[in-house]
Structures are given as structure tokens and as C-alpha cells.
Amino acid sequence: MELQSAGRTSTTQQPLPELDTPPAKRGRRTSSAETKTQPCGEGDICQDAPKTRQDFELDKLPEDMLHHIHSLMPVLDTGRAACVSRRFLCSWRCYSNLTLNIQTLWSPGDKFEGSEMYFINKVDKILNNYSDNGMKVKTLKLNLWHCSSVSASYLDRWLRIAVKPGIKELRLLLSPSMKEKYCFPCSVLFDEAATSLIESLYISNCTFHPIGTLGCFRRLKSLVLCGVHITEEGLRQLVSKSFSLEWLEIFSCNEIICLKIPCTLQKLKLLKVGRCPKIQVIEISAPNLSAFHHYGFPPEIYIEDSSQLTEVYLSSLYPSGILSYSCAKLPSIASNVERLTLVFCGENVNMPMLHEKLHHLKSLEFEFHGSGACSPVYDIFSLVSFLDASPALESLILRVARNAIVDHCDAGDDVYLKGKSAYQHDRLKRVTITGFCSAKSLIKLVISILESAPSLERLTLDTTPRGCGRKLRDTSICTAAKYKSKCCWIGERSLEESNRAVEAAGRYIAGRIPSAVEFEVLEPCRRCHTGNPVDDVLNKS
């Protein structure tokens, strides 16, 4: 870890931030008598320290090692250490990575009354101390999610203290319920000396409208805008100054209608866009984009050069026609995709065959959520059309939410389970189904895979809704139950369905498994879901 001095070298002792001094003692001068009874040495914490600590003498540690130890400590502990050790005091002047949130600034004895202002005052003291002593900030991660009434004047001052030449990372997380929408002071980003070294920028829940020319972000690799009111022109100006950008996320930015990713972003690898309700068109000209994620109703997507695009993730927890969209659009916008994930909800999956094949697709994952009372028209067997269009497929993962499909199998339904894929899946090796249930269409899909995948090596059917199942008849104490009441909460109806799923797997699938295939059925933890109190289980183990 690179650690450089954050301030000027001085022979005089600089004041420290009052991080956790009790209010009654703050500002009180120490008497000469108290000073005599509390002598501090040059390096160790105290000259009167017990002899058992002589083996660990602080003054014998190399300077870079001491700085590294100090940099790994939470900000409150760094301040405390600087108050009792001169060598840690010197190191404090080099401490330039600030993570300011509830976890790092809250002491065990702190009261919760007026907690928001107490937290704001602590942040203010720390950053003012940096400003007063000429100390530099390399990293500022400021989490104010719980502060709905922080003043804009505080935020402006903190940003002007932090955003100076030498800062590398800025993360500003504001509350979405702020009483007044904060306007980010873009003027702090006009100075190219300050912006040229920034590598990561995260801004949330504020307005960002540059009214001047932003400095050049020569080293900016990661940019995340979440809940930011920014115009298309403001975004264009920001990304046009970021030639080294590799990671771009845009979430809940409600003013953008047409999102354009210019060809000047030669190094952009990952683009995530989500929950932007007004976006109608996404135009991507970045030539080396390798991963594209979209969350929400899919707009019109145009990719100028998709030769490097190997990962696509499309998700919506509202009915949005993602499966139909993928069948129609994916082969043309992502012909070289190797990893595809589709998360959909409340959608009729009786799909036609894809018109073009996804020749390079190796990993395919579906996540199927129900939307209330679902009917048997949700024929999950039709997902086989994706398999038939993917001749290079090696891995299939299917996650089914409870009650997403309800066409349960009953005894004598074997005649309805006959169905075979139109193609051989010669490279398919691993299949995992989470939330496996006794639905006819799902069992039919599994049987079809077994009959058309000669290279299959492993088939896992997890009957729990969240993929927390254990092997059948495994009665050993689970690790999670030692710390929580149950390893994973499962309702009574879900437990009943898991039992039906285990029975269905044994009746319809187990006898069809080739000898070379490793077959595993997972059920809810028997120790945690048998009705016995966990305490009794722990006492018996």
C-alpha cells in the first residue's frame, strides 16, 4: 500500500481531531500534576507500560510498516492512537484514506439521541482538522444515507476540503429522503490539477449540472451515478473528459432519455444501466465493451461493435417481456455473448425458437419470479428453445421462485412428461436448478436435458427457495444454526412443497440418471426444520 505524507513536515506538534473525547473533558487543559503522572515516551504508548509489552516496542518498527498498520485501522482508532503515541501522531498526518459512516464513527458509549447532528459534527471536526493542518485526502468515502437534514453548506465545505490535488477516490452517498435536494458543487471539479488523479467517482441522490468546463479526468476508471439529476448534456461532458473509464454505472437518473456511450471510451469494459424510467434508447459505440447489464424494462439498444461483448445481464422484477425481447434482439446485438443471465417476472414463457443461434454462449442462467397467482400456462419447458439455440452451452442455472409455476405432477402423470429437445446438447456438463418443485413443465425440462445431453457430468436439484438446501438425510448440525435460530427461514407451505419436490425427483428423475452423471437432490436442513428447538439440537450435539 502506497502511503505518502499528506502534509508539510513540521517540528511542532499539530492538533488532532476530537474524535471520541467525552464532552465533559473536551477543551479542558491538562494540569501540570496530571502531566507528571502521565508521561509519554517517544515511541511506545506509555513509559509506565507493563514489562510484558517490551517485546513489542513501537519505535523499533520501520516507518513504512507503521504507516501501513495505521492505514488499516478505522478512523476513530487512528485518532485515538495518535493521541497516545508520537509515532502514531506522525503517521496520523499521513493518514489520507477516510471512510466516514456509522460503523467507523460510532463509539460503543455514544448515545443515540440527536444521532444525526452528532454524526455530522464528528465528520465536520475531522475534515476541518485536515484543512487546518494542511493534510491531504486521497480517499473520501462519505456515507450520509441516514442524514436527511444535513445542510448544503456543510457538504460544500467538506467537498472543497477533500477535492484537491492528490485525491484519488470520492464516494458521496446521500439520503434519498433529504429535505432539500443537494446540488453538487461542480466547481470543485473545474480544476484539472484536482481531477487529473481521481480514479473512482461515486455520486448519489443529488443534482449534478456543470455550468462550466469540467477538468480532465485522465485516470478515472470507475464512475457511478445513482439517483443523480443529470442532463444528457451534463453526462456527455462528464464522460467526454474520462478517456480511461473502464466501469460505468447509471441508476435512477430520471432526466436521461437517450443514453449515448461515445467511441472515445476506448477502455470501457462494463456498462450498467437501470431503473431509468425515461430512457428510450441506448446507443453504445465503445468498441471494447465486454459486459452490459440492464435492469428494468429494456429500451431500444444499439451496439455499433459487439465483437468484444461476451456478458449480458437483463433483469426486471416487473412484467417486461424480457424473454421475448431476448429471443428477438440478442442474436443481433450480442452475437458473441458467452455468459447470459435473464431475470424475469410474470411472463408467459411459451416462446418460439430463436431465429439465430448464439454460437458462443457457454453459461446460461435464468431467474424466474412469479407475480401472484400464476397459472399453468407458464410452460417453463419452452426454455429449451434457448438451449437449442446454444450449441456451445456448458452450464445451465435455473432459479425458480416459489409459486412461479404451479402445474404439480401427480401419480400417473408420466405420460405427460415425455418430451425431447429438437437438438443434442453435446457440450452441456453442469445443470443446477434452485427452487426445484413438482411442476410438470419443470420435470419435463429436466428429463429432456437428460435425454439430449450426452456429456452431462452433474445435475443438482435444490428444493429450497433460496438455494440453501443440504444433501438428503444430512442430519449434522449446520454451521448457520449455531449463530441463528434457523439456517434459513422457510415457511410451512414451502416446506411442504420441498417434500413434494424431493418425492417427485425420486419418482420421475432418479431412475433416468446415467451412471456417469453425478446426481444430487438438496432438501431443507433437517436439524433446523423438524420442529425441534435449535437449542435442543445444540445440546444433543
List the chain domain ranges: 315-541
Burial readout 64-73 (b: 16 or more C-beta within 10 A, e: otherwise): eebbeebbeb
pLDDT band at 486 (very low <50, low <70, confident <90, very high): low
pLDDT for residue 470 = 78
- When the pLDDT of each residue in the chain is averaged and rounded to a whole number, the result is 79
Quick one: average pLDDT of 295-314?
Answer: 94
Closest CA to 422 of 448, 392, 456, 397: 448
Q: List, for residues 36-79, the tens digit of each pLDDT value.
A: 334 333 333 344 444 444 444 655 667 667 666 666 666 666 66
What does the block give as the cell for 409? 405432477
pLDDT for residue 422 = 63
Q: Average the pLDDT over each of 131-140, 341-350, 513-522 and give the range with the smallest value.
A: 341-350
Q: List, for residues 233-273, the tens digit of each pLDDT value.
A: 999 999 999 999 999 999 999 999 999 999 999 999 999 99
pLDDT for residue 494 = 79
Q: Answer whether residue 82 shows pLDDT above 70.
A: no
Q: Are 80 and 19 in contact (CB under 8 A)?
A: yes
pLDDT for residue 105 = 79
Closest CA to 327 of 303, 357, 347: 357
pLDDT for residue 67 = 60
Q: How far apart are CA 118 and CA 88, in angstroms?
A: 26
pLDDT band at 211 (very low <50, low <70, confident <90, very high): confident
pLDDT for residue 363 = 98
Q: Are 291 and 269 in contact (CB under 8 A)?
A: yes
Tell me the whole-structure pTM to 2 decimals. 0.80
pLDDT for residue 538 = 34
Concatenated DSSP letters of 220-236: --EEEEES-B--HHHHH
Q: List, for residues 102-143, the tens digit of each pLDDT value.
A: 888 776 566 555 688 888 998 998 899 888 878 889 999 999
Q: Answer whether residue 283 shows pLDDT above 90.
A: yes
pLDDT for residue 40 = 38
